[in-house]
Structure 1
């Protein structure tokens, strides 16, 4: 898989997995990530398209900051702050932000966006 999406938790992973149509790897940080784990992870992410999709809260911002420093080429995908959590955001919102990042989504979510 050439595309990897980094999320915080397993509920985020399930939501994204249900929406994404193309084969992508989805990696959970489990809320936090240490430098040692990040270093190991970065080796596995070499030459892949990496997307960061984390919650719009303090924990998510800490994760984003780490990735900006250690993996500056990663693309950051943002949810609307009113939802706060990826898992709490409506499916069509997640589908929309993924589509904007050129990640293929299931057609049923395209139909939902049009309504």
Structure 2
């Protein structure tokens, strides 16, 4: 009997956020960009697609990111939320070591050189 590994999915706002995360990751993880907003229809499709996957939300610590996070909390409460320090505001501009640290705290494997 073999154990099936649950696929991890990380949802970020933009392509620059995705690039930042890919830079520090040390595991294969699907990254989905919302491009800052997401319609209810698209969110419903996404929820169906992500059923039985570990889903993490990593958005900016600004008004747009807060609105997006609230929408995900309301529509997809099973998702785990990862928070970037408000001092950095944006995922894309946060230092690599900080992004690696918050990902690691969510049990996402990162390259040790960023810790």
Q: TM-score range by the shorter chain?
A: over 0.9
* Distance (whole Å) between structure 1 residues aligned to residue 54 and residue 68 of structure 2: 17
Structure having the higher helix fraction is 1
Deviations 1:28-86, CA, capped at 9 Å, x for gaps = 00011110110111111100000000000111011111111111010000011011100
Q: Which residue of 1 aligns with 2:88?
A: 83
Q: Which residue of 2 aligns with 1:103?
A: 108
* Distance (whole Å) between structure 2 residues aligned to residue 62 and residue 43 of structure 1: 21
Indicate yes or no: 2:21 matched with 1:13: no
* Distance (whole Å) between structure 1 residues aligned to residue 78 and residue 90 of structure 2: 24
* Distance (whole Å) between structure 2 residues aligned to residue 28 and residue 59 of structure 1: 14
Deviation for aligned residue 1:107 = 2.1
* Distance (whole Å) between structure 1 residues aligned to residue 48 and residue 24 of structure 2: 27
* Distance (whole Å) between structure 1 residues aligned to residue 33 and residue 113 of structure 2: 25
Q: Which residue of 1 aligns with 2:61?
A: 56
Deviations 1:82-106, CA, capped at 9 Å, x for gaps = 1110001000000000000000001
* Distance (whole Å) between structure 1 residues aligned to residue 46 and residue 84 of structure 2: 23
Q: Which residue of 1 aligns with 2:52?
A: 47
User: Is there any run of 5+ residues in structure 1 with no aligned partner, and where?
Assistant: 111-115
Question: Number of matched residues?
Answer: 110
Q: Which residue of 2 aligns with 1:69?
A: 74
